[in-house]
Amino acid sequence: MKTKFFALILIFLQSAGLYAVSINQLEQYFENEQYEDLRREVRRVPNEIKDDPAVLYFLAFTSNAPDSALPLYQRIAENFPSSKYADRALYRLGQYNFFTGNYTQARHSFARLLRGYSKSYLKDDAQYLYCQCILAQGKEDSAKVFLKAFVQNVRRSPYVDS
């Protein structure tokens, strides 16, 4: 009986907009790859925490339009460099620029990640894509040097074989 009563109150609070999702809950959705729940709930966060780097990252991550996600990733990278999502934001910026052919800007994002976040799990992928940017810019000799260093320094990456 108590659980039904509690569930009814929770449903009422949610429908009235009085129950706000917490950043911890959003992070749980993200870590558990519950992206639809994340997409739905991140848009319901209270205004007081909309400028939190985690909220900004989740808004960008769940966005369907890269054009609306990019400014959010840039805000995280520029305004919250010590956030646990800053390296991910830089990586996303680098990816976007790489796939749109803006190799100079992509290299800049990947280089910032490599310099500022040496313990990031994205470091190896960023280094590889950095090398690919150099190659795409037609700088074959430089690309060979960077790729050789990549292969020597990063033995666990799946990119080493390619």
Residues 66-87: tens digit of each pLDDT: 889 999 999 999 999 999 999 9
Show the DSSP H helices in the chain as ranges.
2-15, 23-31, 35-42, 53-61, 66-79, 86-99, 103-116, 123-136, 140-153
Q: Give Cβ neighbours of residue 32 (< 8 Å, ≥ 6 apart).
A: none
What's the predicted TM-score (pTM) here?
0.78
For residues 2-11, b (16+ Cβ closer than 10 Å) or e, as one string?
Answer: eeeeeeeeee
Condensed to tens digits (0 to 9), the pLDDT of residues 104-156 reads: 999 999 999 999 998 999 998 998 899 889 888 887 776 667 667 666 676 56
3-state secondary structure at position 48: helix
